[in-house]
């Protein structure tokens, strides 16, 4: 399974700042990366190295100055914004450090939301969301508001939300950054198990080696470059 | 330390600082305009009182004052068969006839005119001067000396001239005048009994001493009692006008200050949390916040004061009441009124700020406490609304339009009506958030689309915030549509039937004044909605970024913001405007008496009201759309991550 690239990115450059004043900061400076289908890849690196910028560049959510990004055979820099939005809606899932659940919604609503966005009927969307909450051990909290859940519980809901549409790729930015060691371990174990069961590719940004250890492969980002494929 | 931190805060919170300053300056301008407007109206009334009423109470013998006596009888006499058909006559020159000797305490400003002497008001004097220069003036001023007198004494002082537009002559009351007025009164009486087919305006205002046995009529006097009854509705309208000015303007302003102060509350919490982390006490933070508000309030007051003084001249030049302008000096305030406005505005800003500060959650560890428990709004306010609407509906159902009703009966009904009117307004404000909560709860459980669900859940989760952004518009549309409808019906009635005693139709102007105030309040309320929407966007930065990452396009996000903000606003506008309309017509039906023969035009829908209602809805949609332009920046995951 892991012989085909699902993500191919080459010579990525992303600079911030004012070009006129010569105060440019390069978040990405010629980064290259390949991600195999079905693998769990950890992107590591010190704070400010450009790893999160790389992650968001891969999703097309931030533009880059130069380079090329191909996802599942599609050059995402050449497609329209609406197509990119549709791509994110149907093929990508996201998990963040601060879970970013929609606070007005219940746990169940949060998980059903991506399905509703994809036009799935309400009844089916909520049944599917309930199944996923059961898989992540959150069925009893289905009707609780997102704001009253603990950090670990919120992250479980976020994982269910990311996986409910059966995405090809899940992008995770420091998914356990806000959790204690025990919760981090529980969440990562659950995340990796479900990803493996469903064959989902996971691109994971972290600076913690213990979290990166769950990945099939690690790359190091420093000064905007991908230094090594471990 | 404070000054440096303050400068940093202002720099990093330019938008919030500017909005508080703007809200305060708008508040100051509005308060000063209301106060100076009321002062101007009172001063004008005082001078009007001289012109109409004071003369009849002059202490000197043989003084007679006749208001609204027309110089040219051809203009003044209108054909008609019944009193109601006597059409409105064009505006003319008021001539006051005075007969007296020596100086009078009731006429203290100038020398009493003697035989052949006359005074002119400033405006009339200008016209006369230009007439003398041979400019086109029309036949009215031909041979003016033969009618006014041979000796021009000069311009009447301001104390005797209600407005700069007043066309007024004060002249000696001759024996010929007395003969003429007795004839006019007799003609009027004859017309009333159907003997002749014309009527004259001034005759209505006259009383005569008569000895019918000898067919002798003497001593025509100005009937002050009759004059006081000329505009009974005008008094109601002045009260309502003040109500709409004070409540309708100040309520949205208070909300704007409140909403502006709360702008960026989350960022503020984070900032204060960081300060607590490095050892700042809650007292220090409180002082800093107080200084921040005080600075923006003081700047707002200065700007508001300057803006008022800039606006004063154009307002005095363009604003009219009863068809006449104000003297610019009249549009003024006393020092204590200015002090009171400043103290009230500062107090308001401090109270609002302190209230918002009490809600800021700062942990000593520098961590903003996460879960905010939202309590559901109470439905008790619904009873107040139902009581208000119930009273009004009962009045409507139990009474019918009746011009035979006595004035006492009509007043009693009016008192009951106003209880219903006030209860309805209070009820709207008290139950608004509960209604939003209850309706959105029901809708969200049925929503099939993601955007629908998100909107309904937002309303269900934060009904008070949603309602607060609409509350200003609810008040101004409710009162506005009430006054509009009432004035519209009276205006239509006056135009349709004519008015024997009315020179200017005051209701036309009330409608215009109402329009200006409605526009101002709607603009203020729209600014409030924009700030509230902007605040909502900032507070939900992460949610929007997540939704965008999950495949919701920017266009869909804008639609979401538009639905969330504009739909409650549009409903609020429609409901409050409809209730105001309902109230006005109920009042007309339930309190009609013999003075109000206007049954045929009740339930008439004013086009301006429809335009104002739709305009308000469109303006709010436009404001929200403009604010939602910032969504592109807000959904940037990197900027969201940095928060």
Q: Average the pLDDT over each of B174-178, B238-242, B420-424, B471-475 and give the range with the smallest value.
A: B238-242
Instruction: Indicate yes or no: CB of A53 within 8 angstroms of CB of B370.
Output: no
CA-based nearest distance A129→chain B, Å:
14
Measured on CA atoms in the order A46, A49, A55, A58, is the torsion positive or negative?
A: negative
* Residues of chain A contacting residue B546, judged by C-beta atoms under 8 Å apart: 94, 96, 100-102
pLDDT at B367 over 70: no
**Number of domains, chain A:** 1
CA-based nearest distance B461→chain A, Å:
5
Q: Could you tell me how many CB contacts below 8 A there are between chain A and chain B?
A: 83
Tell me whether B509 touches chain A (CB under 8 Å). no
pLDDT at B501 over 50: no
Question: Which of B453, B536, B558, B639 should one mutate to test binding to chain A, selecting the residue with the greatest count of A CBs within 10 A?
Answer: B453
Beta carbons of A191 and A152 less than 8 angstroms apart: no
pLDDT at B490 over 80: no
Instruction: Indicate yes or no: CB of B638 within 8 angstroms of CB of A62.
Output: yes
- What backbone torsions phi and psi does residue A85 show, to the nearest 5 degrees? -60, -45
**Per-residue pLDDT tens over the stretch A14-47:** 888 766 666 778 888 888 888 988 898 999 988 8
CA-based nearest distance B545→chain A, Å:
9
Average confidence (pLDDT) over B86-96: 48
Average confidence (pLDDT) over A51-65: 85
Highest mean pLDDT among A50-64, B298-312, B475-489, B599-613: B298-312
What CATH number is given to the structural domain containing A38?
3.40.50.300
Residue ranges of the alpha helices (H) in B133-230? 144-148, 175-192, 224-228
- Could you tell me which of B28, B576, B479, B500 has the C-alpha nearest to residue B250? B28
Output B336 or B348, whichever has higher pLDDT: B336
Highest mean pLDDT among B224-233, B283-292, B384-393: B384-393
Average confidence (pLDDT) over B293-306: 86
Provide the pLDDT for residue B434.
92
- Could you tell me which of B391, B397, B396 has the C-alpha nearest to residue B425? B391
Taking only residues 597 to 636 of chain B, the set having a beta carbon closer than 8 angstroms to any beta carbon of chain A reads 636
Provide the pLDDT for residue B216.
58
Q: Average the pLDDT over each of A44-53, B303-312, B344-353, B433-442 and give the range with the smallest value.
A: B344-353
Instruction: Indicate yes or no: CB of A52 within 8 angstroms of CB of B641.
Output: yes
Instruction: Indicate yes or no: CB of A147 within 8 angstroms of CB of B460.
Output: no
Instruction: Indicate yes or no: CB of B450 within 8 angstroms of CB of A116.
Output: yes
Q: Give the closest of B450, B458, B550 to A104, CB-based.
A: B458
Instruction: Indicate yes or no: CB of A103 within 8 angstroms of CB of B370.
Output: no
Provide the pLDDT for residue A124.
92
Beta carbons of A13 and A64 less than 8 angstroms apart: yes
Taking only residues 345 to 404 of chain B, the set having a beta carbon closer than 8 angstroms to any beta carbon of chain A reads 370-372
Taking only residues 423 to 452 of chain B, the set having a beta carbon closer than 8 angstroms to any beta carbon of chain A reads 447-450
Please report, for residues A207, B330, B407, B417, B456, the alpha-carbon distance to residue A218 in angstroms, rounded to integers and kept in the order given: 11, 80, 91, 77, 43
pLDDT at B65 over 60: no
Q: State which residue of chain A sits closest to B463, comparing Cα positions.
A: A104
Question: Percent helix, strand and coil across chain A, each rounded to 5?
Answer: 35, 30, 35
Q: Give the closest of A52, A62, A147 to B372, CB-based.
A: A147
CA atoms of A35 and A201, how far apart (whole Å)? 8
Tell me whether B542 touches chain A (CB under 8 Å). yes
* Residues of chain A contacting residue B457, judged by C-beta atoms under 8 Å apart: 102, 104-105, 109
* Residues of chain B contacting residue A53, judged by C-beta atoms under 8 Å apart: 638
Average pLDDT, chain A: 84
pLDDT at B72 over 50: no
CA atoms of A158 and A191, how far apart (whole Å)? 10
CA-based nearest distance A159→chain B, Å:
13
H/E stretch holding B467 = helix B463-497
CA-based nearest distance A180→chain B, Å:
16
Q: Average the pLDDT over each of A85-89, A170-174, B546-550 and give the range with the smallest value.
A: B546-550
- Could you tell me which of A91, A88, A67, A81 has the C-alpha nearest to residue A14? A67
Provide the pLDDT for residue B641.
46
Percentage, residues of chain B above pLDDT 90: 5
Output A217 or B38, whichever has higher pLDDT: A217
pLDDT at B222 over 70: no
Provide the pLDDT for residue B391.
92
Q: Is B546 exposed, middle or buried (0-12, 13-18, 19+ CB in 10 A)?
A: buried
Provide the pLDDT for residue B145.
59
Provide the pLDDT for residue B616.
81
Q: Which pTM value belongs to this model? A: 0.68
- Name B325's bridge partners: B320
Domain that holds residue A45: 5-226
Average pLDDT, chain B: 71
Establish how many alpha carbons lie within 13 A of residue B261's alpha carbon, considering only the half-sphere containing its beta carbon.
28
Q: State which residue of chain B sits closest to A101, comparing Cα positions.
A: B543
CA atoms of A162 and A199, how far apart (whole Å)? 14
CA atoms of B297 and B22, how far apart (whole Å)? 9
pLDDT at B199 over 50: no
Rounded to two decimals, the ipTM of the complex is 0.78
Tell me whether B71 touches chain A (CB under 8 Å). no
Provide the pLDDT for residue A29.
85
Provide the pLDDT for residue B277.
64
């Amino acid at each position: 399974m892991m012989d085909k690239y699902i993500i191919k990115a080459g010579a990525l450059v992303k600079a911030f700042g004012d070009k006129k004043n010569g105060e440019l900061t390069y978040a990405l400076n010629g980064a290259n990366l390949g991600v195999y289908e079905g693998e769990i890849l950890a992107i590591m690196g010190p704070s400010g190295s450009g790893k999160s910028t790389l992650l968001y560049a891969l999703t097309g959510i931030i533009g880059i100055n130069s380079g090329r990004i191909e996802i599942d055979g599609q050059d995402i820099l050449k497609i329209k914004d609406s197509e990119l939005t549709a791509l994110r809606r149907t093929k990508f899932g996201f998990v963040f450090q601060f879970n970013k659940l929609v606070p007005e919604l219940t746990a169940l609503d949060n998980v059903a939301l991506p399905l509703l966005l994809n036009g799935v009927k309400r009844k089916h969307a909520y049944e599917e969301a309930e199944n996923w909450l059961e898989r992540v051990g959150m069925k009893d909290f289905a009707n609780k508001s997102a704001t009253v859940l603990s950090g670990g519980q919120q992250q479980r809901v976020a994982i269910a939300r990311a996986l409910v549409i059966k995405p090809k790729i899940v992008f995770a930015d420091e998914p356990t950054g806000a959790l204690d060691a025990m919760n981090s371990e529980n969440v990562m174990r659950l995340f990796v198990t479900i990803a493996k069961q469903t064959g989902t590719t996971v691109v994971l940004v972290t600076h913690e080696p213990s979290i990166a250890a769950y990945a099939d492969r690690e790359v190091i980002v420093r000064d905007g470059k991908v230094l090594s494929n471990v | 330390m404070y000054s440096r931190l303050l400068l940093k805060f202002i720099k990093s919170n330019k938008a919030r600082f500017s909005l508080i300053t703007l809200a305060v300056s708008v508040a100051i301008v509005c308060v000063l305009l209301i106060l100076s407007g009321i002062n101007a109206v009172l001063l004008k009334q005082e001078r009007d009182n001289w012109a109409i009423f004071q003369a009849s109470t002059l202490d000197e013998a043989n003084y007679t004052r006749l208001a609204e006596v027309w110089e040219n009888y051809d203009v003044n006499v209108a054909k008609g068969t019944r009193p109601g058909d006597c059409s409105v006559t064009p505006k003319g020159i008021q001539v006051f006839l005075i007969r007296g000797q020596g100086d009078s305490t009731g006429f203290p400003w100038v020398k009493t005119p003697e035989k052949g002497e006359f005074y002119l008001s400033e405006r009339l004097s200008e016209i006369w001067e230009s007439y003398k220069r041979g400019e086109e003036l029309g036949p009215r001023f031909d041979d003016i000396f033969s009618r006014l007198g041979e000796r021009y004494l000069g311009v009447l002082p301001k104390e005797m001239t209600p407005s700069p537009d007043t066309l007024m002559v004060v002249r000696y009351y001759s024996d010929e005048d007395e003969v003429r007025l007795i004839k006019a009164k007799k003609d009027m009486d004859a017309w009333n009994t159907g003997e002749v087919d014309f009527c004259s305006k001034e005759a209505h205002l006259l009383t005569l001493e008569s000895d019918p046995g000898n067919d002798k009529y003497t001593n025509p006097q100005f009937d002050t009692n009759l004059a006081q009854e000329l505009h009974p509705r005008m008094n109601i309208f002045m009260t309502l006008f003040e109500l709409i000015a004070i409540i309708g303007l100040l309520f949205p302003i208070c909300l704007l200050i409140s909403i502006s102060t709360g702008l960026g509350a989350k960022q503020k919490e984070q900032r204060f949390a960081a300060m607590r982390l490095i050892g700042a006490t809650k007292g220090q933070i409180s002082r800093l916040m107080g200084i921040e508000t005080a600075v923006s309030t003081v700047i707002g007051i200065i700007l508001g004061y300057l803006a008022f003084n800039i606006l004063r001249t154009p307002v005095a030049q363009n604003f009219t009441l009863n068809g006449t302008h104000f003297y610019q000096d009249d549009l003024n305030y006393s020092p204590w009124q200015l002090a009171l406005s400043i103290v009230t505005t500062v107090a308001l800003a401090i109270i609002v700020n302190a209230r918002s500060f009490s809600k800021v959650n700062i942990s000593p560890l520098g961590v903003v406490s996460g879960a905010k428990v939202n309590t559901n709004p109470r439905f008790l306010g619904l009873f107040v609304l139902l009581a208000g609407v119930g009273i009004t509906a009962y009045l409507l159902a139990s009474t019918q339009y009746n011009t035979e009703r006595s004035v006492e009966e009509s007043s009693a009904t009016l008192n009951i009506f106003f209880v219903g009117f006030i209860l309805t307004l209070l009820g709207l404000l008290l139950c608004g958030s509960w209604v939003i909560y209850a309706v959105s709860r029901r809708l969200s459980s049925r929503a099939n689309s993601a955007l629908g669900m998100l909107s309904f859940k937002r309303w269900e989760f934060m009904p008070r915030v949603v309602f607060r952004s609409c509350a200003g518009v609810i008040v101004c549309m409710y009162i506005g549509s009430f006054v509009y409808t009432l004035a519209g019906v009276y205006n239509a009635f006056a135009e349709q039937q004519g008015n024997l005693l009315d020179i200017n139709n005051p209701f036309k102007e009330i409608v215009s004044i109402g329009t200006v105030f409605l526009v101002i309040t709607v603009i203020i309320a729209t600014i409030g909605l924009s700030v509230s929407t902007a605040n909502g966007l900032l507070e939900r930065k992460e949610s929007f970024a997540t939704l965008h990452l999950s495949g919701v396009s920017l266009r869909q996000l804008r639609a979401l913001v538009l639905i969330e903000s504009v739909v409650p606003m549009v409903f609020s506008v429609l409901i409050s405007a409809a209730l105001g309309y309902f109230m006005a017509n109920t009042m007309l039906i339930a309190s009609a008496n013999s003075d109000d023969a206007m049954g045929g035009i009740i339930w008439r829908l004013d086009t301006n009201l429809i335009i104002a209602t739709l305009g308000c809805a469109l303006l709010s949609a436009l404001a929200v759309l403009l604010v939602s332009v910032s969504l592109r920046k807000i959904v940037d995951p990197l900027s969201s991550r940095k928060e």
